[in-house]
Amino acid sequence: MLRRAHVLFILVCAALLGGALLGCAFGFAQLSGPEQSAADRSLAIVVNLSNPVSGLTTGDLRRVFLGERGHWPNGRRITLVMLESGWPERNAALSGIYHMDETEFNNHFLHGLFTGEVFVSPKTLSTPEGVRKFIFNVPGAIGYLRASDVDKTVKVIRIDERLPGDKGYKLHVPQRENR
């Protein structure tokens, strides 16, 4: 039994070492396989670099995304940014933040805008790059991106004090199939 554990430990170490070497083969700047995989599976909530907010609770995040809050603490108007239907990130946001499906989401905003309960109408972009650029251009914008799509032009905020990749981070997105 003890011998089998040793063998398993050695195999795990070898796998880690192999992964590290493979990572080195792709370049030091790139994330290693497991880290890359984690970044690829996490859904990051991103805001404009000028936004002073650095973190939200899950509840605040949901209220923001539901359009129930119109402005940030600095007075900037909140602009929601969504990806078009069909993107795994959108599905992950609907399930992880809204707890709704597409129909419920559409109904929520139609109804909310009609009744005045919702202050913000989400902007829909066709690509993650569009989302990132939109948020870069609009100081009050907030959206979501696969963690691996995030760059320095936007700011990732903590959700319940956790960043994507942290243990206990709740927002995940299925890994890309074409990778």
Binding region for other proteins (CB under 8 A): 77, 79, 81, 121, 123-127, 130, 133-134, 137-141
User: Based on CB atoms, which residue is closest to other proteins, 57 or 127?
Assistant: 127
Q: Which residue number, 41 or 132, has a Cβ lying nearer to other proteins?
A: 132
Look up residue 177 and give its amino acid. E
Amino acid type, 89: E
State the nearest-atom distance from the C-beta of 136 to other proteins, in Å: 9
Q: Which is nearer to other proteins, 41 or 90 (CB)?
A: 90
* Least distance CB 49 / other proteins (angstroms): 12
**Smallest distance, other proteins to C-beta of residue 16, A:** 41
Strands 141-146 and 43-48: antiparallel
Contact 133, 23 (CB under 8 A): no
11, two tokens: 């195999």
Report the alpha-carbon distance of residue 87 to residue 77 in Å, rounded: 26
Minimum CB–partner distance for residue 124 and other proteins (Å):
6
For the four alpha carbons of 128, 129, 135 and 138, in that order, the dihedral sign comes to negative
Q: Which lies closer to other proteins via its Cβ, residue 108 or residue 133?
A: 133
CB of 81 to other proteins, least distance (A): 8
The residue among 96, 88, 83, 67 whose CA lies nearest residue 159 is 96
Q: Which CB, 27 or 86, lies closer to other proteins?
A: 86
Q: Which two tokens stand for residue 86?
A: 């069909």
Q: How far apart, in whole angstroms, are the C-alpha atoms of residue 55 and residue 60?
A: 10
Axis-axis angle for helices 2-26, 33-41 (nearest 10): 80
